[in-house]
Structure 1
Amino acid sequence: MNKILPIEKRNAVLTTMAALLEPERENLKAINQQDLANYNGEDLAMEKRLLVDDAKVDGMILSMQQLASQEDPVGQVRFTFTHENGMKISNKTAAFGTILIIYESRPDVTVEAGGIAFKSGNKILLKGGKESLLSNQKIVSLWHQALESNGVATEWVEYLNYDRAQTQAFLEKPTQKVDLIVPRGGEKLIEFTKKFATCPVIVSGRGNNFVYVNQSADLKKAMDIIINGKTTNIGVCNALDKVVIDTKVPNWESFAKELVTELQKFNVEVLGDSAFAKATQVPEIENEAIWYEEFLNYKIVIGVVNSDEEAIAKINKYCGGHSASIITEVADDAQVFMENVDAASVYHNASTRFTDGGQFGLGGELAISTDKLHQRGPIGLQHLVTNKWYVYGDGQIR
């Protein structure tokens, strides 16, 4: 296990990394263009995640600066107790040790995940996708520069340039101790990791997020929230895929038609259940299994329900456990919905697009967990720790 670096040293590395990214901005964008040129373009969402533009570089720099300014998540006292025999007992946060993150196409993760893991006292193994190899290698070279210039070993941030077979071999028989694995990507990647991993895995799961338009909804808010959730960025796990509307919404059919018109302005393919399709003339879904799907595309499924209970049951059956939002002006209805929907993030009158470590005040995230152990939702700096017990005695025996 690596000896934990003092917090001053960890912060200095992050500050250096932020400073290195600015002069390398144009260089990094040019290298990323090579990755984009090599990519076959078969997956629009993947291509969007692969791109490094000025906004992405700004985000990388900001995440390093924010992380450097946050307090040390390691050594935080969570519980204290004095035993009747005089022993002093405390429980404190502790680094995991080594964390492996497996991810696809997002060079910004190489910065953000590396930073979050390093700040929380962990060594990080980065296993990026082949489509972003050149961008990732460039970013890791900057990490190594930031570490070396602060007198820290480069092994704290390591890139695993493995193909699928090598990754499987490493998962089954790691060549170094790995304490936690976080797969961040599609369902195939998650299944693959869980199947072969020999240490704990936190699943950064799929989205398939829902908006429910309750009978007392402000329909202007509903419209804006649905359009925002579906159209601003289709390639992310907090994007919107499903909408359910209460048939008790006044003139729900006219709202439905207006919603379809607005979505179609953004070239969104709209499918409906039988009642919605009949009311709006959109194509009807071929089978119910589509309610389980995450689209990561300009596609949405809309249906109707007859009560809040029916909406909650439908969402709990089909959603990915990520995010769900209720649009209503009745606070009690919102509270019942939020308490009973089984998702990592539940919203009242807001877009699911906010499920994000930076937006939730965590200064970025390693991933968004749809598991219930060890952390749910955005995994920030303060969640990348485990804990241990410190017991101070003076010869006590039991």
Structure 2
Amino acid sequence: MSTLLSIEKRNAVLTTMAALLEQEREALKAINQQDLANYNGEDLAMEKRLLVDDAKVDGMILSAKQLASQEDPVGQIRYEFTHDNGMRISNKTAAFGTILIIYESRPDVTVEAGGIAFKSGNKILLKGGKESLLSNQKIVSLWHQALQENGVSTDWVEYLNYDRVQTQAFLEKPSQRVDLIVPRGGEKLIEFTKKHASCPVIVSGRGNNFLYINKEADLKKALDIIINGKTTNIGVCNALDKVLIDSSLPNWEDFGKQLVDELKKYNVEILGDDAFANATQIPVIENEEIWYEEFLNYKIVIGIVNSNEEAIAKINKYCGGHSASIITQNDAVAQEFMDNIDSAAVYQNASTRFTDGGQFGLGGELAISTDKLHQRGPIGLQHLVTNKWYIYGEGQIR
């Protein structure tokens, strides 16, 4: 394990990184164009994540600067106790050691996730997708330059240019110690990582988010929130996939037709359960399995439920444990819904698109965890630590 770098060193590297990204902005965009040209373009969401334009570079720079300005997550005291025999006992946050991040197509992760891991005192191993190889290698070369300019060894940030077979071999028998693995991407990537990893894995990235329209909903809010959740960015895990409508909502059929008309303007494919399909003349779902699916596409499924309890049960059965929202003006109903939904983030009258480290004030995120251990939802700087007990004695024996 590498010796912990002082917080001053870590911040200096991040500040240098921000300056280098600005300095190399045009070169990075040009190299990214080569990655885009090499990509076959079969997946629209993937292509969107792969692109590095000025807005993405601005985001990377902001991320590095914000991380440099945040307080040190390592060494925070969580608990203190003085034993009857005089021993002083405290529990403090500690770095994991080495964190491996496996991700697909998003060069900005090389800065943001790498920066979060580095700021929290960890050595980082980055395993990006082949489609973003040139962009990632350029960004890693900037990491190395930032480390060197501050007199820090470049092995704090390493890029693993491995294919699937090499990755599997490394997961099963790492050639160096790895303390935590964070896969960011689709279900196949997560499954592959969990199957082969020989250390803890934080599962991130599966959405399949639900929105429930209660009978006391403000329908203008409901419409705006659904359109935002479904259409602003289809390729992200906080996008909306399913809508449930309370059958006690006055004239729900009229609202359903309005919702269908609005979604069609964005070319969203709409499927319904029997009740909703009959009322709005849209295609009916082929089977119940579709309720489990995350679409990452212009596609949505809408269904009717007969009570708040039915909505909660249905969401808990099918959702990915990521985000769920209730649209209602009744705060007591909202609270009951939020307390009983088994998801990392629960909303009243707001879009699921906010489940994001930056939006939650964490200054970015390493991943969005749908696991319950050791952290749920957006994993920011302050969560990317483990803990350690410090005991100070004067010769006490038990």
* TM-score range for the pair, normalised by the shorter chain length: over 0.9
State the number of aligned residues.
Answer: 398
Partner of 2:395: 395
Partner of 1:118: 118
Query: Aligned AA for 2:335?
Result: Q
Partner of 1:311: 311
Matches within 5 A, 1:190-201: 190-201=190-201
Give structure 2 stretches of 5+ with no counterpart: none
Partner of 1:356: 356
Cα separation, 2, equivalents of 1:216 and 1:65: 44
Partner of 1:377: 377
Report how far residue 205 of structure 1 moved. Answer: 3.4
TM-score w.r.t. structure 2 length?
0.99
Q: Does residue 1:2 correspond to 2:8, yes or no? A: no
Cα separation, 2, equivalents of 1:379 and 1:231: 25
Q: Secondary structure at the match of 2:23?
A: coil
Greater shift in the superposed pair: 69-78 or 17-26: 17-26
Partner of 1:40: 40
Cα separation, 1, equivalents of 2:142 and 2:249: 55
TM-score w.r.t. structure 1 length?
0.99
Matches within 5 A, 1:336-351: 336-351=336-351
1:126-166 Cα deviation digits (max 9, x unpaired): 00000000110010001001110010111001000000000
Cα separation, 1, equivalents of 2:85 and 2:351: 54
Cα separation, 2, equivalents of 1:254 and 1:267: 20
Assess if the C-alpha contact under 8 Å between 1:326 and 1:348 holds in 2: yes
Matches within 5 A, 1:129-168: 129-168=129-168
Assess if the C-alpha contact under 8 Å between 1:257 and 1:280 holds in 2: yes
Structure 1 ranges of 4+ moved more than 2 A: none
Cα separation, 2, equivalents of 1:26 and 1:214: 50
Query: Aligned AA for 2:12?
Result: A
Partner of 1:99: 99
Query: Aligned AA for 1:68?
Result: A
Query: Aligned AA for 1:345?
Result: A
Partner of 1:51: 51
Cα separation, 2, equivalents of 1:285 and 1:41: 29
Q: Secondary structure at the match of 1:382?
A: helix
Partner of 2:242: 242
CA RMSD of aligned residues (A): 0.5
Report how far residue 185 of structure 1 moved. Answer: 0.6
Cα separation, 1, equivalents of 2:105 and 2:282: 34
Assess if the C-alpha contact under 8 Å between 1:202 and 1:371 holds in 2: yes
Partner of 1:19: 19
Q: Does residue 1:276 correspond to 2:276, yes or no? A: yes
Partner of 1:302: 302
Identical amino acids, percent of aligned pairs: 85
Matches within 5 A, 1:156-305: 156-305=156-305
Cα separation, 1, equivalents of 2:28 and 2:215: 50
Query: Aligned AA for 1:268?
Result: V
Cα separation, 2, equivalents of 1:30 and 1:213: 46
Q: Secondary structure at the match of 1:387?
A: strand
Partner of 1:71: 71
Cα separation, 2, equivalents of 1:206 and 1:383: 19
Cα separation, 2, equivalents of 1:334 and 1:390: 43
Assess if the C-alpha contact under 8 Å between 1:325 and 1:346 holds in 2: yes
Q: Secondary structure at the match of 1:211?
A: strand
Greater shift in the superposed pair: 41-50 or 365-374: 41-50
1:233-263 Cα deviation digits (max 9, x unpaired): 0000000000000011111001000001111
Give structure 1 stretches of 5+ with no counterpart: none
Cα separation, 2, equivalents of 1:158 and 1:228: 38
Q: Secondary structure at the match of 2:271?
A: strand
Assess if the C-alpha contact under 8 Å between 1:205 and 1:320 holds in 2: no
Report how far residue 27 of structure 1 moved. Answer: 1.3
Partner of 1:89: 89
1:179-234 Cα deviation digits (max 9, x unpaired): 00001111110110000000001100300001100000000000000000000000
Query: Aligned AA for 1:273?
Result: D
Report how far residue 45 of structure 1 moved. Answer: 1.0
